[in-house]
Amino acid sequence: MANWSRFSKSLWLTLAAGLLSTASASPPTVTLKASAAERSSTVFVGRSLSEFDQDVFLGIKYADQPVRFTPSDLKTSYNASDSDSGLYDPSLSGLDSSDSVYYNATQYGYDCPGYGSDEDSLIDKGLVRVNENCLNLNIIRPNVQSESNGAQGDELLPVMIWILGGGWQQGATADPRYNMSYIVQQGALNDKPVMGVSINYRLAAFGFLDSEEVRASGNGNLALRDQRNAMRWVKQNIKAFGGDPEKITIWGESAGAYSVGAHLVTNGGDNEGLFRAAIMESGNAVGPPYNGTEWHQPMYDQIVNLTGCFNSTDTLQCLREVPYESLYKVAYQGSEWFATIDGTFIKEYPQISYSEGKIAKVPILLGANTDEGTSFGTTGTDTDEECIEQLISSKRWVLTREQATKLLTYYPNNPALGCPYGWGNVTWPKLGLMYKRYESMAGDITMVAPRRLLAKTMGKYEKEVYSYRWDVAALNSSSTIGVGHFAEIPFVFANPVQDITPLGSDPARLELGKMAAQMWTSFVTDLDPNGHGVSNIPRWPKYTEDPTNFVFRLPMNESYVEDDTFRATGIEYINSIQR
């Protein structure tokens, strides 16, 4: 793991992606008043980013470190030592510390332990540090005193809460690709200022451990429950930072979008008033692999054996007591941990929740990328039988042989119809004689069919439903064919500097990024993405009984609106399967 000095040196590479920033002589502060049971108020001390005309408050704990494999509890009081950034000396800024706790919110806190190449790379570069005590959030706000930011005095700002993706196995708010300063800046430049919040939550086995033992103790889906607590913290406290608790939009991509979807269906659709709208990029409640204990129990048992807990009468308690380093080494053995139907947080397959109207009925903006299947399919399928074997054994969906066989009838082995789309009869035989056929099914199962299902379902209850298809490839996609998963992220965050998944320097790409960011922030402020102020762009229509998608193209003036009726029979069949 990265040490403290390495992390400190790299912080502004993450925050401002290479731009220098100088802390103000009088740093921005926000005070949470003491409750009747507390003696001291809490003063969060942040930093000012002059180049963005913003204030940031980083690494704020929304929950103390929970006992491992138990739910987190909402944090309501603070000590100065709670900050991961060290103690803050208020006398340096001439602040009075007589009756307040000063919380150092000038740097990112710990990110949560996970598994994957992204996680390893970020740690190696010194951009993140990880620890189990990682339930924190970051707040990015335009300078409310600046007229250039569109702020109107004491006007409260709409809030967008970012829930990061990473397959539920990895991810960090300190990842430069998730630097919210640029999208917040675009909102302000468009006279639609918003406040950004990004949250960390437990990952992989630490957040999604599942087994008969876990279910019997009521400790499932801990990561989703972490996210819910982060939302509660924002709802209760964001007004002190200048945010509007009645205008919160939750927003995620991939596993983050899966998570947003889960929050739509949990609690029978009662969202506790925690958010008024949702944005889902490449994912929603239907689509994640809600595998049962038949999938997770062998993984759990293997961890128990490898940690020496197999003789314990309470294996879950034994795992809680295993030293972190020992547990981390064995908690991932090549198979992934996912959310589950635990009977509490997620009571049933979300497709059932959709059909019964047990869903939070809120405005939504959602979409998928053109060639999602290239990220979720497989290679080496040459025959019908090999396609069927893959379809019935995938970790990401569960189909019976009968269902898989029927699905093939809707997806003929015609290269002109397969994924990647738009390549005509071009094939890649080394990837499999049925590569394009299988990738088409995989993309529709995981992303496209669920997107259409939720858009149609929410459209029954809400007028403000907007659907898109992203059709612009990522810049560094030499090893990827088509417009794959994650391709839209550099554009939506509008960050021209980070070089992990770069946006690039092409003016056309930069302009598309600005427009996308302004569409997202327009939706957060007005529940309508059309307030972007860009001319020569078709109006993004609402999703109705005549369903349409806004298609993002490069250059942006080639974007258009399409009928959302492609692959109708196959997608309709997929959406008939309970999952």
Active site residues: 254
Closest CA to 376 of 539, 485, 221: 485
Please report the beta strands in 301-342, taking only residues with DSSP state E, as ranges in sequence order.
Answer: none
Decide: 78 and 61 in contact? Cβ < 8 Å. Answer: yes
**In this structure, what are the phi and psi dihedrals at residue 431, rounded to the nearest 5 degrees?**
-90, -5
Q: Helix, strand or coil for residue 93?
A: helix
Buried b (16+ CB within 10 A) or exposed e, 278-314: bbbbbbbbbbbbbbebebbeebbbebbebbebeeeee
DSSP string, 395-430: SS----HHHHHHHHHHS-S-GGGSSSTT-TT---GG
How do strand 364-369 and strand 465-470 relate by DSSP bridges? parallel
Q: The tokens of 362 are what? A: 């809120």
Residues in the chain, how many? 579
Which among 264, 281, 112, 124 is positioned nearest to 199, based on CA atoms? 112
Residue 430 CB-density burial (10 A; 0-12 exposed, 13-18 middle, 19+ buried): exposed
User: Alpha-carbon distance 207 to 205, whole Å?
Assistant: 5
